[in-house]
Amino acid sequence: MNNDPTFIYPHDRLLKEYKLISKKHIKIFDFYLDSLKKFDKLFDKLHHRFAKLINDTGHSLNGRYVFIMMQMKETIDSHYTHYFALKKGACNGTYPALRHSYESLLKNYYFLIQPMDKKNFINLTGEGLSKTRKTLYSEKMLKRQNKIYDMLCVKTHAGVRGSAVAYMPMKDSYKDCLELGVILLSSHYVLLLDSFGRFVTPKELEKIIKFIEKFQKIIGSLPNFMPDNPKIVDMLKISYKHPLKQSGNRKDFFRSKEHYFKSCFIKQ
């Protein structure tokens, strides 16, 4: 250990130190990558099944679910970036990927709870995240999330706050970064099921339930980004008010065909 008070790690050495730390968390990394690959495959199947339902009517995809699918696809890319860069020893540099995942998650929930006659979703993409958060969450939940939200803001803007992990290896900060990636991914699983649950097969649902059970064992808590604002919570199929039951009854979170037709502005 260098006792020079002005010493900082050259970055090449810092990456090597973080790579050594990563080996101590191989179980979480393996679970992360396996879960990410499965999410990627499941997303691909569900959005194609949804698209077929709409295309079979002779119409093209339109409305909220197009935006949700586009942002989910980008989120998959963000999580692969986070996983591989973090495992190679980067830490602070992976936070923009996590922030993208977090903001996409909230934006997709925001799209999901819009009135069925809402058409101009382009304008919604430009709305500030502060408004989105206040729409989705109670004051109590906002306070619980503020620590994570503030950290993502600090880590993704130029400044000196939060830069210590770029000067010397910090084990706890590295682990926090890894676990946040897994927590956000698990939250996207819940959102995917809420958005396209009708198209999930019984076997796929069983795998999702097992994933959540394993997630709880490894991380120790359930995803904590589900909206809880009483004004909008009944618009969701899975929430604190309507939790995903371990029994895995698919009909608990079914959205009707008519709902999807209306979302694409198809008159039946």
pLDDT of residue 178: 95
The two three-digit tokens of residue 153, written as one number: 């803001």
Asked if residue 55 belongs to a domain, the reply is yes
pTM for the model: 0.90
pLDDT of residue 247: 46
Closest CA to 185 of 39, 68, 53: 39
pLDDT of residue 175: 93
Asked if residue 217 belongs to a domain, the reply is yes
Q: Looking at the 3D structure of the chain, how many domains does it have?
A: 1
Asked if residue 1 belongs to a domain, the reply is no
> Which residues are within 8 A (CB) of 84 and not within 5 positions of it... i.e. 6 or more apart?
none
Alpha helix locations (H) across 119-220? Answer: 121-125, 129-136, 139-155, 171-196, 202-219
Q: How far apart are CA 47 and CA 1, in angstroms?
A: 52
Asked if residue 268 belongs to a domain, the reply is no
> Which residues are within 8 A (CB) of 164 and not within 5 positions of it... i.e. 6 or more apart?
170, 173
Asked if residue 61 belongs to a domain, the reply is yes
pLDDT of residue 34: 96
Asked if residue 209 belongs to a domain, the reply is yes
Angle at the Cα of 188 from the Cα atoms of 21 and 154, rounded to 5 degrees: 55
Q: Domain range spanning residue 97?
A: 11-263
Give, for all 268 residues of the chain, the pLDDT tens digit: 556 656 677 888 888 888 999 999 999 999 999 999 999 999 999 999 999 999 999 988 888 999 999 999 999 999 999 999 999 998 888 999 999 999 999 999 999 999 888 888 888 877 888 899 999 999 999 988 888 888 888 888 776 665 666 667 788 889 999 999 999 999 999 999 999 999 999 899 888 888 888 888 888 766 578 899 999 988 998 876 666 655 456 677 788 999 999 998 887 6
SS3 label, residue 59: coil
Asked if residue 232 belongs to a domain, the reply is yes
Q: How far apart are CA 253 and CA 244, in angstroms?
A: 8
Could you give the angle at which helices 64-87 and 26-55 cross, rounded to 10 degrees?
Answer: 160
Asked if residue 6 belongs to a domain, the reply is no
